[in-house]
Amino acid sequence: MPFAWKTLRGVATLIALCMTAALAAAEPIEVLWLGHSTFRITSATGKVIVIDPFLKTNPRTPAKYKDLAALGKVDLILVTHGHRDHIYDVSELAKLTGAQVIASYELSKNLVVAGLLDAAKTPVGMNKGGTMSPLGPGIKIHMVPASHSSSVDMVEMNRPEWKGARLLDGGAAVGYVVELENGFRIYHTGDTDVFGDMALIGRRLKPDLALVCIGGYFTMDPEGAAFAMREYIKPKQVIPMHFGTFPVINRTPAELKAALGNSPIKVIEAKPGEPLRF
C-alpha cells in the first residue's frame, strides 16, 4: 500500500516538524556574559555562538570559564576586531571545539597567516552588509559597521615564535546582529563610538536586545551609549559590556540607566557567569 505508507510518512514528518517548532518556541534563548565583550548565546534549538572570546586573561571572567572546556559545545565564533581583548582565546577555542570562525575579511586571512587559525578549516571572512547562515537557514548572522580601529598585535597575543611584523592588519572593526530561529535579534556593537548609521541598523535589523559597550576611553561611554540606543537602535533591552575590565574603562551600568532617563529601554545588569534567558 504505497499510498498509505507515503501518507503515514508525510504525517510523521509533519509531526516531527511541529515538535521541532514547538521545542524552538518552548526553549528560551540563553545569553551568558563572561565579562568584557565575551558572550555565549545558546539558541532555542541548542546552537551555540560565542562572540569575542577573551577569557583566560580577562579579569572579569569567572574562574570556571578560564578553562575553555567549560564553555561546552561551540558551533560558531564571531569576532568583531583584532584587538587582544577580543580575540585572545579565539585560536584555542576554535581548535578545542571545532567551531567555525567569522571575522572581517582581512582579519580572518591574517589569523590564518599568523598561525592562529587552522588553514585547513579556513575561517569565514565576510564584510559589512553581508549576511550568512553557517548554522543552517534558521539563524542569520548580519555583519554591521562599527566605528573603531582593528589590528592584531602579535606581541600582545604572546606568540614569540612569530617572526613576521608585530602588527597585522585587522581589517574593519565590525558589530553583528544575530537573528535567531524565532526571529529574536541580538545586536553586539563590538567596540564603537556612536555613529549616525546606527540608525540604519535600528531601522533595518530592529534588534530586540543590544549588547552595548559603555566603558568609555576606547568606546562609547554611558551617555554616548544611551544616545545611540534611544535615538538610533531602539532595542527593548540592553546589556552593558566593555566596562570595569581595566582601570581606564571605569564607567558603569548605573550611569547608563541614569543617561537613559525615562526611556522605556530596559537595562539588564548581567553578572559574568550567570545566564540570562529571553
Note the residues at the interface with Zn ion (CB under 5 A).
Answer: 85, 191
Whole-number CA gyration radius for the chain: 20
Q: Which is nearer to Zn ion, 139 or 174 (CB)?
A: 174
Q: How far apart are CA 235 and CA 30, in angstroms?
A: 18
Residue with cell 518552548: 26
* Torsion 177-178-181-182 (CA) sign: negative
Pairing of strands 124-126, 100-104: parallel
Q: How far is the CB of 5 from Zn ion (least distance, A)?
A: 58
Q: Which is nearer to Zn ion, 85 or 89 (CB)?
A: 85
Q: Tell which residue, 178, 2, 156, has the closest CA to residue 88.
A: 156
Q: Which is nearer to Zn ion, 85 or 179 (CB)?
A: 85
Q: How far is the CB of 242 from Zn ion (least distance, A)?
A: 6
Q: How far is the CB of 116 from Zn ion (least distance, A)?
A: 18
Q: Which is nearer to Zn ion, 56 or 140 (CB)?
A: 56
Ramachandran angles phi, psi of 201, nearest 5°: -60, -45
Looking at residue 232, the DSSP 8-state letter turns out to be I
Q: Which is nearer to Zn ion, 43 or 151 (CB)?
A: 151
Q: Which is nearer to Zn ion, 75 or 85 (CB)?
A: 85
Q: Tell which residue, 100, 103, 223, has the closest CA to residue 151.
A: 103
Q: How far is the CB of 261 from Zn ion (least distance, A)?
A: 27
Q: How far is the CB of 43 from Zn ion (least distance, A)?
A: 25
Please give the single-letter amino acid code of residue 166: R
Q: How far is the CB of 59 from Zn ion (least distance, A)?
A: 13
Q: How far apart are CA 187 and CA 95, in angstroms?
A: 26
